[in-house]
Amino acid sequence: MDDAVIYVDVSVGDGKVGQIAVRRTDSAFELAETFCRAFDLDRSYIRRLALLVQDRLQEYLASEAQRRQDERERVLRGMGQGLAMPSEARTRAEIGQSTKAEEFRFHAPSVRPVLFKLRVEIAPGRAGLIAVRENDDPQVLARNFCKTFGLKASSRVTIVFQIQEHLTHYRLERLERMA
């Protein structure tokens, strides 16, 4: 099953076009690096491709967040008119929180070194830190951050983008140091 959310077409010369399938949790840097290797392109294109993929994914995520917000508003308007609403929205509205139990386990301290710490402003004068390690899932980091600080789910898209953006810059700097 293909779970790609967007496809980015890239001209590779001689009238040929390569396509990058992008999933929500993909690293733009890794996709760009893999694409350059697959099409035997110079490594100097990695940075430009990574930024292109990142921009396209952010555009998609922002449009999805807006679509979900519009749907929530439609559901809430429907509630005021006595219309039936989806069970997920009804559960949250009637119960006030999800009744789905989530597993939580304490893990041994991570031996993976921190790549960088991302400071996220929550409100004026209030911020939190996200420690990002190799192979961390930006979606999970953002979800946990939002839960920890009681932020709305709509904030998660922005935080995921910030994490992905900093990961891309971190990897590009590392690549430039190796060159």
Q: Which of 162, 160, 129, 166 is nearest to 142 (CA)?
A: 160
Which structural domains are found in the chain, ordered by start?
1-94 (3.10.20.870), 109-179 (3.10.20.870)
Cα(140)–Cα(107) distance, integer angstroms: 15
Pair of tokens at residue 135 = 């192979």
Residues 6+ apart with CB under 8 A from 62: 157
Tell me the pLDDT of the chain (179 aa) as tens digits: 457 788 888 887 777 778 888 887 788 888 888 888 888 888 888 888 888 888 888 888 888 888 888 888 887 777 665 544 454 444 444 434 434 444 444 344 445 788 889 999 888 888 888 988 888 889 989 988 888 888 888 889 999 999 999 998 898 888 888 87
Residues 6+ apart with CB under 8 A from 116: 132, 166, 170
To the question of pTM greater than 0.85 for the whole model, the response is no
